């Protein structure tokens, strides 16, 4: 039987934040990846049909993308966010809806995700927040992604 080991990084102030790499990564998403998905797969250009998703370090990036580009994304799915994202409610666009999830066995990530929930709710942003008995691993994320997608997109015909 093959075993997997997951190492928790207790230093939640990751390189991407310290080096301010979110704008560079966002440039790739906004100017290459989204255009490719629209051209190759006919992905919708409507913000209501778009969500950005991330887990762990990617969760903070998803939050950053949602808060900095609400004109592009209608929702953000954020699993186990590990670092703070500055947020000021946008004045001229609808805020992004947020689906947040964290495990009770990943206390640093749970605490930060819960703090982020409070920031968003105080700003009047629609939030669906979930905790489960789980660590910082792919099991919890796999088990929760279906719920998140249904919350964001509903159960309609996607064909």
Q: What is the pLDDT of residues 2-50, one digit of tens each?
A: 443 333 334 444 444 444 667 888 888 899 999 999 999 999 999 999 9
The per-residue pLDDT for 17 is 46
Q: What is the pLDDT of residues 82-136, one digit of tens each?
A: 877 766 655 555 678 999 999 999 999 999 999 999 988 888 889 999 999 998 9
Furthest C-alpha separation in the chain: 54
The per-residue pLDDT for 91 is 59
pTM for the full model?
0.82
Distance CA 76, CA 94 (A): 13
Q: Which residues contact 131 (CB under 8 A, 6 or more apart)?
A: 101, 102, 103, 104, 110, 114
Distances (CA, A) of 34 to 66, 75, 153: 14, 15, 18
Whether the Cβ atoms of residue 57 and residue 16 lie closer than 8 Å to each other: yes
Whether the Cβ atoms of residue 51 and residue 70 lie closer than 8 Å to each other: no
Greater confidence, 158 or 29? 29
CATH superfamily of 46-153: Alpha/Beta hydrolase fold, catalytic domain (3.40.50.1820)
Domain boundaries, the chain: 46-153
How many whole angstroms from its chain centre is CA 56?
A: 9
């Amino acid at each position: 039987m093959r075993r997997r080991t997951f190492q928790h990084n207790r230093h939640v102030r990751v390189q991407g934040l310290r080096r301010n790499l979110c704008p560079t990564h966002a440039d790739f998403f906004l100017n290459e990846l989204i255009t490719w998905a629209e051209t190759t797969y006919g992905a919708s250009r409507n913000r209501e049909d778009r969500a950005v998703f991330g887990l762990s370090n990617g969760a903070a990036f998803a939050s950053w993308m949602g808060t900095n580009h609400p004109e592009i994304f209608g929702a953000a799915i954020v699993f186990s966010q590990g670092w703070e994202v500055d947020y000021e409610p946008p004045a001229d666009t609808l805020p992004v809806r947020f689906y947040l999830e964290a495990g009770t066995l990943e206390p640093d990530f749970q605490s930060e995700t819960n703090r982020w929930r409070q920031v968003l709710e105080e700003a009047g942003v629609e939030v669906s927040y979930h905790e489960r008995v789980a660590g910082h691993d792919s099991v919890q994320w796999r088990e929760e992604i279906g719920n998140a997608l249904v919350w964001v997109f509903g159960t309609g015909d996607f064909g």
